[in-house]
């Protein structure tokens, strides 16, 4: 993935599977995994696929920015999908990184300082219109924007880029803008979960979120169908109504959502371990 050496992926393999990055062994491989955002489509179409070989498309990115992921010329040569969608053959939703924190009890306390809203947007990827939305929202409410896009915290940057540092900053805010860079089904990234784990209420802009990807219904505010002015009015109202604010955190005192618990159990093994088992079934025997 993005040229990074394989680590946990290699360790997750189920014996007697062997993992190699040696492309000269393509013809002898039983399974070939392609990281689709890195894919050279022309070179891909020229590759020879050995009869019986299983080809897998692997990605955690939105197709909006990497159209080759859904291109027919690519899809018709792939046998299995491994991505963030729950309908994928080997689902790898972003929530898997956070299931331990989201299902633990007790959870970290909710941030309580009224009116505080954090934003972390540094990429200019903007198919969702998130930058324009943030800019408009700033005309109605003060936003602590820590990213390089529309930054308001110059000289007060406390995020060193690590997830722990970001969550520490979020924990000091009542709300966090969880604005996806694209609105695609199943594309629910760490932006939502960082806020939930930190104790902030996510304000979400993206596609509809399947319930299995949430710790509870009503744990976030959906901005996708609201104007910035309407969202600002809603946040102002909630800030004046402690019961309404408490309702957004009620899930923290309840048992973990059955759907999320079941999903975490079903997908508890590393994705490449799950891929091995699935491939064995397709190949008919262990290689």
CB 199 within 8 A of CB 108: yes
Q: What CA–CA distance (Å, rounded) separates 83 from 75?
A: 14
Rg (CA), the chain: 21
Q: What is the pLDDT of residues 122-139, one digit of tens each?
A: 999 999 999 999 999 999
How much is the pLDDT for 222? 98
Split at pLDDT 50, 70, 90, the class of 157 is low
d(CA 127, CA 194): 22
* φ, ψ dihedrals at 117, nearest 5°: -130, 125
Please determine, for residue 155, whether its predicted confidence score (pLDDT) is greater than 70: no
Could you tell me the pTM of the whole model? 0.93
- pLDDT above 70 (res 110): yes
Q: How far is CA 184 from CA 225, 282, 284, in A?
A: 15, 29, 34
Rounded to an integer, what is the distance from CA 67 to the centroid of its chain?
A: 18
Tell me: pLDDT of 286 over 70: no
The answer to whether residue 285 scores a pLDDT higher than 70 is: no
Residue pLDDT, tens place only, 166-225: 999 999 999 999 999 999 999 999 999 999 999 999 999 999 999 999 999 999 999 999
Tell me, what's the pLDDT at 199? Answer: 95
CA distance 10 to 272: 8
Contact in structure between 177 and 119 (CB atoms under 8 Å): yes
Q: What is the pLDDT of residues 211-262, one digit of tens each?
A: 999 999 999 999 999 999 999 999 999 999 999 999 999 999 999 999 999 9
- Interior/surface letters 59-72, b for 16+ CB within 10 angstroms, e for the rest: bbbbbbeeebbebe
Q: Tell me the CB-side half-sphere exposure of residue 107, using CA atoms within 13 A.
A: 25
Indicate whether 158 pLDDT > 60. Answer: no
Residue 87 has pLDDT above 90, yes or no: yes
| Full 3-state SS string of the chain | CCCCCCCHHHHCCCCCCCCCCCHHHHHHCCEEEEEHHHCCHHHHHHCCCCCCCEEEEECCCCCCCCHHHCCHHHHCCCCEEECCCCCCCCCCCHHHHCHHHHHCCCCCCCCCCCCCEEECCCCCCCCCCHHHHHHHHCCCCCCEECCCCCCCCCCCCCCCCCHHHHHHHHCCCCEEEEECCCCCCCCCCHHHHHHHHHCCEEEEECCCCCHHHCCCCCCCEECCCCCHHHHHHHHHHHHCCHHHHHHCCHHHHCCCCHHHHHHHHHCCCCHHHHHHHHHHHHHCCCC
| Distance of alpha carbon 142 from alpha carbon 49, whole angstroms | 56
pLDDT of 95 strictly over 80: yes
What are the tens digits of pLDDT across the range 43-85? 999 999 999 999 999 999 999 999 999 999 999 999 999 999 9
The overall average pLDDT reported for the chain is 93
């Amino acid at each position: 993935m993005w040229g990074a050496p394989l680590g946990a992926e290699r360790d997750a393999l189920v014996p007697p599977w062997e993992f190699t990055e040696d492309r000269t062994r393509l013809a002898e491989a039983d399974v070939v995994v392609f990281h689709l955002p890195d894919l050279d489509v022309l070179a891909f179409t020229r590759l020879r696929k050995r009869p019986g070989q299983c080809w897998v498309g692997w990605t955690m990115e939105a197709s909006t920015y990497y159209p080759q992921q859904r291109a027919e010329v690519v899809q018709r040569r792939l046998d299995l999908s491994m991505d963030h969608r729950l309908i994928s053959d080997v689902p790898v939703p972003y929530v898997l990184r956070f299931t331990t924190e989201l299902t633990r009890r007790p959870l970290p306390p909710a941030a309580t300082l009224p009116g505080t809203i954090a934003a972390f947007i540094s990429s200019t990827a903007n198919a969702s219109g998130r930058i324009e939305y943030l800019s408009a929202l700033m005309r109605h409410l003060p936003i602590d924007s820590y990213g390089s896009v529309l930054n308001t915290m110059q000289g007060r940057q406390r995020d060193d880029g690590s997830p722990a540092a970001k969550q520490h900053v979020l924990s000091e805010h009542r709300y966090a803008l969880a604005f996806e860079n694209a609105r695609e089904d199943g594309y629910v990234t760490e932006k939502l979960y960082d806020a939930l784990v930190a104790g902030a209420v996510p304000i979400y802009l993206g596609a509809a979120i399947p319930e299995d990807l949430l710790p509870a219904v009503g744990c976030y505010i959906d901005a996708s169908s609201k104007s910035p002015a309407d969202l600002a009015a809603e946040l102002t109202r909630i800030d004046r109504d402690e019961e309404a604010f408490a309702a957004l955190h009620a899930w923290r005192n309840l048992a973990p959502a059955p759907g999320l618990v079941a999903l975490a159990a079903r997908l508890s093994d590393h994705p490449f371990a799950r891929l091995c088992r699935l491939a064995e079934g397709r190949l008919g025997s262990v290689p």
